[in-house]
Each structure stands twice: as structure tokens, then as C-alpha cells.
Chain A
Amino acid sequence: MMDQLLQVKNLKTAFRTDHGMQTVVHGISFHVNKGEIVGIVGESGCGKSVTSLSIMRLLHDTPGEIIDGEVIFKDQNLLPLPEKKMKSYRGKELSMIFQEPMTSLNPVLKIGKQLREPIQLHLKVSKPDAHQHAIKILESVGIPRAKEIMEEYPHQLSGGMRQRIMIAMAVSCKPSLLIADEPTTALDVTIQAQILNLMKDIQQQSNMGILMITHDLGVVAEVCDRVIVMYAGRIVEESTIVELFEKPKHPYTKGLIASVPKIGSGVNRLHSIPGTVPSPTNMPIGCKFAPRCKDVLDMCHIEEPSLIEKDGHSCRCWLYQDQRQGAIINE
């Protein structure tokens, strides 16, 4: 085992609904090593954002609740910690940036005040020191005229600038783990590349781990070392980035990769996976992807396959378990 920074074990998160508790994250387990960038990909509604909020224990303002599992960060399980202790982790050891740079900054407070807050809180420094520190951080994320920006309000800045500020805020206390929930989704393509490069640079300088939540395989290919593919609240495949793109196993992953448009492929029609993600109230009994799968077997409708690892490449699919275990699936 390498140096594990974060270990998520059997995490289950459920939402309170009118029909009782609905589980949306079904006991997922994965880890992030020190200095590693791990991507979680999946369609919207697959539970990837809920997973990230669960790790941060930021489900306050949602109907969500963690019902089981462990989130072990540097040998400490975060879930049983009292809220006060958890606050000392947030923003210091674990930081998070969000999808919407336009709404993630407080519109009525100056950038400076918002940047100083975590610095004063976690590094226990005076206001002028925090101010100097904030200016340095702003410069390090490539913001010109950092001093003036400190006195400005979010609405005076562009989306890309705001996302840089969010990143500056998140890394200001040198966290060991940065969770980025769709950090580039709301940005222009050219800005997306800049932001991804920035995150990579910071990661290389400070050796922090990054958990990159995204629906965009392009982003994953660009920055990640390892990828986790989620579907309907479960991990369906996990492998290194090279392996995933070269030898995808799960039909869902194959579908996702085929959906990425390729220039010069000569195909006019874009590939798409038929059907939609099943709703939590109406889950298939067996494999959750079976209704949309083109390689579906009889077994898939009867029992859900488990996540089986082979040579560092895990997959939750009967196609492979059949081959490996030699189990008889036809009755």
C-alpha cells in the first residue's frame, strides 16, 4: 500500500424523501494517495457530488444523511468527529471548490475579506498578515493586480477569475486534499484548460491529493492519475487513467468513452448511451445498468455483480466475473 491520504470505506448516504430514506450512495469504497489526482466520473445523479459532500460532511443544508461507512483521513475517521473538530479540518486539511464560481462567492463581501477568513481562522494570524498572505496566494494562482482585486466584489470579476479565487481560497491553508466538484463545468473551454493547468501546477508544487469530480472524460484524461466510474450510486469500474482509456471493461465506461466526440473520425452522428439513469425509487433488481446495456446477459437481470479487482483494475460486471471465476450463469 502506498501512502494513503483518504480512505472511504463502505460509505452509504441516503436522502430523506416523502417515501422514506432513499439511499443514493450505496456503500462505496475507494482511496486517494498522497499527491495523487483521482477522478470520479459519472452522469448527473450518479451520486458523485453527494459522495464529495459526504467526505466534507457538508450535507447540512441538504436532506442527505450519512448512514454507514467510514471516511478515514490521515488515520482519523472523520464521521464520528464532533462538528467542532470537523470544522478545524474543513478549509485547513480538506478543502473544496465548487461548480458554480458565479454563485459560490458571497456577493456582498469583498474578495479580500472572503480570502482572509480561512487564513485568519486556521493559521491564527493577524488581519494584516492574513491580508499579505492572501495577496501572495492570489498572485500564485495567476491573478494580476492582486492588491486591487482584494478590494473588489465578486460581480466585478469574470467566471474564470472567480474560479481562480475559489482555488486560491481553497489552497490558502495548504490542505493535503482538495476536492474539486466539477470545477470547470461552468467555464468557457479556453478558461477550462487554464484552470486545469493551474490545478495541476499547484498539485505538483504542494504535493496535495486531489479528488476531481466530473462528468467530463476530457477533464479526467487531462489531469487524473486514476479514475473511478460511478453509476447509480455504485462504483462500476476503477483503474489507472491509461488502462481505462485503452482497455475499458464495463459497458458503461465503454459507452462514456464512445460518447466523447473525436475530430476526424468521419462519423457524423454522435454516440450516446440509450436510456437514462434509473430513479432511486425504481431501481432494477440486478445490475443497475442492465436496462441500458448492449451486452446484457440473463444473469444481469437477476443479481447484481460485485466489484472485482484484477491487476489493479476493478469492474462490476458479469461479463468479466464469468470469465474469471468460471461460474455457470446459465441455469
Chain B
Amino acid sequence: MWQYIIKRVLGLIPLILVVSFVIFMFIHLIPGDPARLIAGKKATLEEVQVIRENLGLNKPLIEQYIVYLKDLLAGNLGYSIQSGAPVSELIGERIMPTLGLTFISIVWALVVGILLGVISAVFRNKWPDHIGMVTAVSGISLPNFWVGLVLIQLFSVQLGLLPTGGAEDWKSYLMPSFALGAGIMAMIARFTRSSLVNTLKQDYIRTGRAKGLSGNAIVFGHALKNSLIPVVTIAGLQFGFLLGGSVVVETVFSFPGLGRLLIDSIQMRDYPVVQAEILLFSLQFILVNLLVDIIYSFLNPKIRYE
């Protein structure tokens, strides 16, 4: 088991290198010149040139990348072009609220989604199933920014119960995490349902019934573990979607997280910040996928022994 995990972690190193290279190149392909933005509209060509040289932007891209990589390995993410503050500091301020938000979203989406899926599968084609699946379809179809706006209108403007934005206390996490998790919850519910319905048709379920097991022992003891394998895949993929979604949802709720920082930095062509953030998102995605693979091997003994 440990061998497997270590092998997988070592395999990530070349992947991260490639990712960092691609991100670096893409950022520098975005049209727009940060030096000109900093210098302002009235600056002369010479002034812009000086700024460009100070930032090292006049050097060849490859050289810039090598410098960037060296700094990165030393733990230096660079300095914001806009504020001059260290990028690590900027990200550090924003990372906790975003991590909190995504964590709450994925947890409630998993718990409610799996529960809804199990109920639907067990009562398939009866009313609990219909209610569950209508809920799921709504969750998938309604875009999260719209859900966010409706929530604000209802709970903040009309009822005055919850703050419209910010990240001061637990109350300000409620609506954003609901808006962010709804789609994933729905997806997980649908996958759990179809996977469980399929599992319940398997021969070993019949064996379980022939042994005299109760319905609960069959569903929770025998079927659920088997049917969670595709669900874990989807949950992992959806997590990437969650990161993208957090950019939108954070904007709707004026939530002081990484998503908003990213939007602001892109608008200002703040290369080091954008770069660091995208690298962080990619790392997060890679780690989640690693986690998914490790969970797989717990669920499916066949993978573990290969």
C-alpha cells in the first residue's frame, strides 16, 4: 500500500514540471503588456522600457522560465507587479477562505449526493426516486451564479438573514457553499443511483439474498462499496470543476478568496500572481486525482494487488 502511494507521488514530479512550463508559456502569450499598465497611459516608450528591463521581461522566454523555476524551487513565488507584495503573502491571505469554502461544498455535496442516490436506487421508480432525481436534474441544470443571485435575493435582500458577501463568520459561508456544491451534489446523486442500480443486479447480490441478509445489509454491506468506484471518479473530476466554479461564485458573493484574486490579477496582467495561482489550482487538481486513485485501491482490492 505504502509502496504504491510513494510510487504515485514520485510520478508526479515530471508532471508538475510540465504543468509549470505550460502555464508559464500560456501566461506570456496573453496579449497585453504589464510594463505599460504599470507605467500608466502617459509614460514614454523609454520609461516603459526601463520598467520592462527591471522586471526581466525583455529577456528570452526560456531564460525567464529558468529564473522562475529556480525561484520556485527555492520557495519564492515572486512579487506582485501591481503591489510589489510577495505573491506567497497575497495567496496566503486568500487561501484559507477558499479552501474552507471548497471543503464545505464538496463534503455536503458528497454526503447529500450519495444519500440521495442510495435512496433513489433503493426505491427506484417509486416517488422517493422521482423526488431525488428531480432535485438532481435541477442541481445540474441551474448555473451556480444564478443560484447564488437567487439566494442573495431571498435570504439577504428579502429575509435579511444572511450577509450578501464577505467571509467574516460561518454565516457568510452558507450561501456560497450551497451554490458551489449544488451541481456536484446532483452529479454525485445521479451517478450513485445508476451505479447502485447496476450493482444491485449483480450475481453476488443474489448470493447475499440467498444467505438471508436484510435489505440494509445488502445495500450498505455489499452493494455500496462496489458502486462507489465510479462515484469517486466523478467526484474527483468534479473537484476541478469546483475550483473553476469558485471563481464565479466568489465573484457573485464578493468572497475574499483565490478566485477573486485570480480575476483581479488577470485584469491587471499581474503575471507572477496569475502564474502562482494557476499552478496552485493545477497542483490541487493533481493531488485530488492522486487521492482518488488511493481511494480506488481501498475500494477495489484488485487494484491494490497489481
Contact = CB atoms under 8 A, between A and B. Distances in A.
Interface of A: 56, 58, 60-61, 87-92, 95-96, 98, 100, 103-109, 117-118, 121-122, 153, 155-156, 166, 169-170
Interface centre among A100, A104, A118 (most CB of B within 10 A): A104
Given A92-B212, A109-B222, A121-B213, A156 B203 contact: no
A103 B212 contact: no
Contacts of B42: none
Given A109-B222, A153-B301, A155-B302, A104 B209 contact: no
Nearest to A106: B204
A90 B209 CA distance: 8
Given A153-B301, A156-B305, A108 B225 contact: yes
A117 B213 contact: yes
Contacts of B202: 103
A276 B53 CA distance: 87
A96 B299 CA distance: 28
Interface of B: 200-214, 217, 221-222, 225-226, 299-302, 305
Contacts of B302: 107, 153, 155
Nearest to A152: B301
A84 to B, nearest CB: 8
A92 B210 CA distance: 9
5 contacts: A89-B212, A90-B209, A92-B212, A104-B206, A118-B213
Interface centre among B206, B208, B225, B305 (most CB of A within 10 A): B206
Contacts of A92: 212
B212 A108 contact: no
A103 B204 CA distance: 6
A290 B301 CA distance: 53
Nearest to B229: A108
Given A61-B200, A92-B212, A106 B226 contact: yes
Contacts, number: 79
B79 to A, nearest CB: 51
Given A87-B214, A100-B203, A103-B204, A108 B209 contact: no
Contact of A96 (B200, B210, B221, B301): B210
A108 B221 CA distance: 10
B67 to A, nearest CB: 50
Interface centre among A88, A89, A106, A169 (most CB of B within 10 A): A106
Which 6 A-B pairs have CB atoms at the shortest separation, nearest pair first?
A: A91-B212, A90-B212, A91-B211, A103-B203, A106-B204, A96-B210
Contacts of B207: 98, 104-106, 166, 169
B43 to A, nearest CB: 66
A108 B212 CA distance: 19
Contacts of B203: 98, 100, 103-104
Contacts of B305: 153, 156
A22 B302 CA distance: 41
Contacts of A60: 209
Given A90-B209, A108-B226, A118-B211, 6 more contacts: A58-B210, A87-B213, A90-B211, A106-B207, A109-B221, A153-B301
Given A100-B203, A155-B301, A106 B222 contact: yes
B212 A121 contact: yes
Contact of B226 (A100, A107, A170): A107
Contacts of A103: 202-204
A58 B207 CA distance: 10
Given A61-B200, A153-B302, A106 B209 contact: no
Given A98-B206, A121-B212, A108 B300 contact: yes
B258 to A, nearest CB: 37
B37 to A, nearest CB: 56
Nearest to B225: A108
B222 to A, nearest CB: 5
Contacts of B204: 103-107
A265 B205 CA distance: 45
Contacts of B225: 108-109
B85 to A, nearest CB: 50
A118 B217 CA distance: 11
A98 B205 CA distance: 12
B226 A61 contact: no
Contacts of A58: 206, 209-210
Given A61-B205, A98-B207, A107 B212 contact: no
A195 B202 CA distance: 24
Given A98-B206, A103-B202, A103-B203, A108 B301 contact: yes
A58 B201 CA distance: 12
Contact of B211 (A100, A107, A117): A117
Contacts of B300: 107-108
Contacts of A104: 203-204, 206-207
A153 B208 CA distance: 16
Interface centre among B208, B217, B226 (most CB of A within 10 A): B208
A96 to B, nearest CB: 4
A170 B206 CA distance: 13
